[in-house]
Amino acid sequence: MQKPKSKGHGNGLAGVSTATDDSPHAASGALAACVIASSAIAGLLLVTVFLFYPLIITFLQAVKGTLVSLPTGSLILLSMVFLASGLVKGIAGIGMGLIAVPVISFVYGPAVAVALIPIPLLVTNFHQGVLTGKPGRVLRTYRPLATSMLVSMPVVAYFSTTVSETWITYSLGFTALGFVLLNLGFKLPEISSRHDRALQVTTGLVAGVVGGISGLAVIPLVCYMMLRKLDKNSFVAVGGLLLFLSGAILLVSHLSNGLLNRELMLLSAYASAAAMVGILLGEKARAYVGQELFRKLILVLIFAIGIKLLLG
Residue 141 to residue 135: CA distance in whole angstroms: 10
* Domain ranges across the chain: 24-311
Helix (H, G, I), strand (E, B) or coil at 17: strand
* Structure confidence at residue 69 (pLDDT): 42
| Contacts (Cβ under 8 Å, ≥6 apart) of 32 | 1
Q: How many CB atoms lie within 10 A of CB 103?
A: 17
* Structure confidence at residue 277 (pLDDT): 92
* Structure confidence at residue 9 (pLDDT): 45
Residues of the chain whose pLDDT is less than 70?
1-73, 110-111, 160-165, 168, 185-189, 214, 254, 257-260, 312
Helix (H) or strand (E) holding 96: helix 96-108
pLDDT tens, position by position, 133-180: 788 999 999 999 999 999 998 888 777 666 666 776 777 778 788 878
Residue 259 to residue 265: CA distance in whole angstroms: 10
* Structure confidence at residue 116 (pLDDT): 81
* Structure confidence at residue 205 (pLDDT): 94
pLDDT tens, position by position, 68-79: 444 546 777 888
DSSP 72: T
Give the distance, in angstroms, between the CA of residue 277 and the centroid of all CA atoms in the same chain.
14
* Structure confidence at residue 44 (pLDDT): 52
Contact between residue 13 and residue 138 where contact means Cβ atoms under 8 Å apart:
yes
Rounded to a whole number, what is the distance in angstroms from the first to the last CA of the chain? 45
Residue 286 to residue 288: CA distance in whole angstroms: 5
Residue 224 to residue 98: CA distance in whole angstroms: 19
Q: Which amino acid is at 93?
A: G
| Contacts (Cβ under 8 Å, ≥6 apart) of 90 | 278, 279, 280, 281, 282, 283, 284, 285, 286
Global pTM value: 0.69
* Structure confidence at residue 172 (pLDDT): 73
In order, the DSSP letters of 198-243 are HHHHHHHHHHHHHHHHHS-THHHHHHHHHHTT--HHHHHHHHHHHH
Contact between residue 107 and residue 73 where contact means Cβ atoms under 8 Å apart:
no
